[in-house]
Structure 1
Amino acid sequence: MICPRCTASLKGKERTGRVCVRCHKRFALDPAVHGKGMHDLRVRGIARRATDHGRLKIALTQLWYLSRSDNYAWAGREREGVPARIRWLVALPAAVALLLCTVLVDGDLAFFAGAAALLILVAASAMRHRPAVPPRSQIIPSEERFRGLMTGAWPTAYGGLPAGVFDDARPLPRPRGAGPSRASAPVSRPRAVILCTDRVVSLFLTANDVPGRLGAVLLDTTGPDGPAGHSALVAEALDRLAEYRGALPVVVLHDADPLGVLLAPLIRAAQPDRVVVDAGLPVSAARGRKGVVRLARPNRIADAEQLRTVAGLSEADAKWLADGFWSPIAAVPPPLLSSIVERAVERALTVPPPGPQQAHTHGFLTWPQAPQPPQTPRARGTGRPGTGPSTKEGTSSA
């Protein structure tokens, strides 16, 4: 590997203990020890681009998403066949009963009873059972491992996290004058409300004073997992919005997940006179765009029909979410995320209040639109997560 301190090419024995034998300086990461892509120069370069060369502050979780070397998502699988315990619980008594018939009777009846017993035993032995498997996903390295390296080995080598990166596991200091309502900045006369369902994104926006620069107030709200999660999320969001006058437009930031995509439509339905701009991560981008982080939840919390009718998703997008897949908005590159929030607030301030026929027309679902190189059609059989009974897909690193 290349020494991040003196750029010398080092063999394994020349970097024992993560100390270069040429310059005798310590470095943090060794790909041979910590895995593919875990190299100081690469992580430092990713942090530099993510902070827009020092213009932004980003959370450690955002850096983890961008520094991933692999991302896999597997579709779930329904149970197939009959469990062995149940098979033999039925087959053995039936076979024993038929074998007793062969002893008690004579002639053809005994022959047919013995043949039936044999067939039952053969069929029970030949049947196979495949248990149900929930959707699952993996990011390499794991968040725990990456966070441990960046808060342990990295500060040991360099004295702190990369420039512009803050540890989102620790609370940010509350801005002077901020009340207990978790508003991100003391905006005396807010022009808009930013409603965010992702804690990491809220911390990112707060650290960069995005709401303050836009004259907006930031509210963060979360909902529990499970079938009742979106009801609790909407109830909390409406309760938080009740603190601000109804004329203030709302920009909704959310993950590409069932709770997020249902939030803006349900707020519009509850407050039809309020401008609601959906600036969340679109499901179509999360499902179909190369390089986007894709995750899976073992518990499905919404059905496809509800997602189609309430959130207005396409058949493919609704099925993808209903199968347990989702994508975090915190994995969007921070410069792009910041610009999207600014554009969404500007749009919310220029859109006229909705009339009876316009309550569901305010959306902002075309992002991210970063330039992409031409892509060739994918080979048949590669598929995407959620399109087959057991599909695996890896995403390239940022």
Structure 2
Amino acid sequence: MICPFCDQNLLLKERPNRTCSHCKRRFALDPKTNSLRMSDLRVRRLLVKLTDGGRLKISVDQLGSPALPRTGPVKGESPVVEALGCLWVPLLVGIVMIIVGLSAEDMGGFAIAGSVLVLIAVLGLSAALIFGGKEQKREQARHPLSGFRGMMATDWKNVYGSLPPGVVDDFPYRKVYLPEGARIALLCPDGAIAAFLVANGIPERYGVAVTAHADRLPEEMPVVVLHDASAPGCRLVIRTREALPGRTVIDAGLPPRAVMRTPGAPARRGYKPAKDLIEWLGESGTLTKAELDWLAKGWTVSLVAIRPAKLLAAVSKTVERLAAATRTEPERREAEAVGFLTWPGEAGR
């Protein structure tokens, strides 16, 4: 790697304890010791690109997102389903052995051996249900950028004293960020994106109250919901509308159709959503069959993976047009019917 201070090309043995053997200065990140292969220089290059040359402020997650692999670390089915695939053979063999042993004379030992196999299979399945289910919940709860967050909060701050210029922490407001004169409420459960919007002046510029919690929405205001292209994200819009009957609730995206067929879209694949969630989304009538099939396979595109300048422009356009649309009833109905955000790959459709 290249030393971020003296530009020397360092072998692994020449940078013990993340310290350059030439200039003796300590750097924050060694690409050989973190899973995202991040270095100080790579962080700086990403920072210039993602902040549009310093024009924007971004969150820690937006900074680390380009380093994530397109496919998540967990593919396919859950540990319980994988255990079933391994255990059905001894279970079937054991059952056959029991039947043969009980139906033939002098085959009692055969039945006993079959019973042992069945017992082992049942115990294995029980263990998979208990421990595999817990592990699946831990994996689902663990954010893919948690490691990067930790490196920036500890290693980077220990060396440089603070986050890089232009990088902000997650949404720090427990309830809602409510600027004076707010007329629109924006719900975004991703604290990194909520912080990004606040840091770049969306609330003050357009009169927008920002919250990451559905139960913290200000009363009476029309609501814009900003979410990932994911099954939980699509569910959030439907539940928000159900919880706020009579209120204008705009689904601002990210819609699956905008990214699922877009070349180069930053899609990641993890655990498949529950079948009943996909069925429930289908019954809502808000998604096409192609979108439901894409979501059912575990594909998602996170808001933090969208280029910050494009995301900011899209959100700005949404709230600006909604503010204008609320002035007259016909304009409001038209806005609610067509939506606003034009995401990557939707132009020209």
TM-score under structure 1 normalisation?
Answer: 0.66
- Give, in angstroms, the shift of residue 158 of structure 1: 2.2
CA distance in 1, matches of 2:333, 2:198: 35
DSSP-derived class of the 1:342 partner: helix
Q: Residue 57 of structure 2 contacts residue 196 of structure 2 at CA under 8 Å; is this kept in 1? A: yes
**Aligned counterparts, 1:287-298, within 5 A:** 287-289=260-262, 290-297=264-271
Deviations 1:30-54 (A, max 9, x none): 2233356312111111122222333
**Aligned counterparts, 1:229-244, within 5 A:** 236=215, 240-241=217-218, 243-244=219-220
Deviations 1:179-231 (A, max 9, x none): x8x2313323x232212222222222223331111112223225xxxxxxxxx
CA distance in 1, matches of 2:151, 2:321: 41
> Residue 338 of structure 2 corresponds to which residue in structure 1?
362
Q: Is 1:94 equivalent to 2:99 in the alignment?
A: yes
CA distance in 2, matches of 1:367, 1:25: 44
Instruction: Give unmatched runs, 5+ long, in structure 2.
Output: none
Identity of aligned residues (%): 33
CA distance 1:293–1:100, shift in 2 (3 Å): same
TM-score under structure 2 normalisation?
Answer: 0.74
Q: Is 1:312 equivalent to 2:286 in the alignment?
A: yes
> Residue 74 of structure 1 corresponds to which residue in structure 2?
75
The one-letter code sitting in structure 2 at the alignment partner of 1:92 is M
Q: How many residue pairs align between the two structures?
A: 322
- Give the one of 275, 279, 289 matched to 2:252: 279
Instruction: Give unmatched runs, 5+ long, in structure 1.
Output: 103-116, 175-179, 223-235, 372-398
Q: Output the aligned Cα RMSD.
A: 4.1
CA distance 1:80–1:55, shift in 2 (3 Å): same
CA distance 1:215–1:161, shift in 2 (3 Å): same
The one-letter code sitting in structure 2 at the alignment partner of 1:87 is L
> Residue 176 of structure 2 corresponds to which residue in structure 1?
183
The one-letter code sitting in structure 1 at the alignment partner of 2:155 is A
> Residue 308 of structure 2 corresponds to which residue in structure 1?
334
Q: Is 1:151 equivalent to 2:159 in the alignment?
A: no
CA distance 1:364–1:296, shift in 2 (3 Å): farther
CA distance in 2, matches of 1:36, 1:143: 9
DSSP-derived class of the 1:152 partner: helix
CA distance 1:163–1:279, shift in 2 (3 Å): same
Give the structure, 1 or 2, with the largest relative contact order (CA under 8 Å, sep 6 or more).
1
Comparing both structures, which one devotes a greater share of its residues to helix? Answer: 2
Q: Residue 261 of structure 1 contacts residue 311 of structure 1 at CA under 8 Å; is this kept in 2? A: no
- Give, in angstroms, the shift of residue 341 of structure 1: 0.9
DSSP-derived class of the 1:26 partner: coil
CA distance 1:37–1:304, shift in 2 (3 Å): same
Q: Is 1:220 equivalent to 2:193 in the alignment?
A: no
Q: Is 1:353 equivalent to 2:345 in the alignment?
A: no
Q: Residue 250 of structure 1 contacts residue 348 of structure 1 at CA under 8 Å; is this kept in 2? A: no
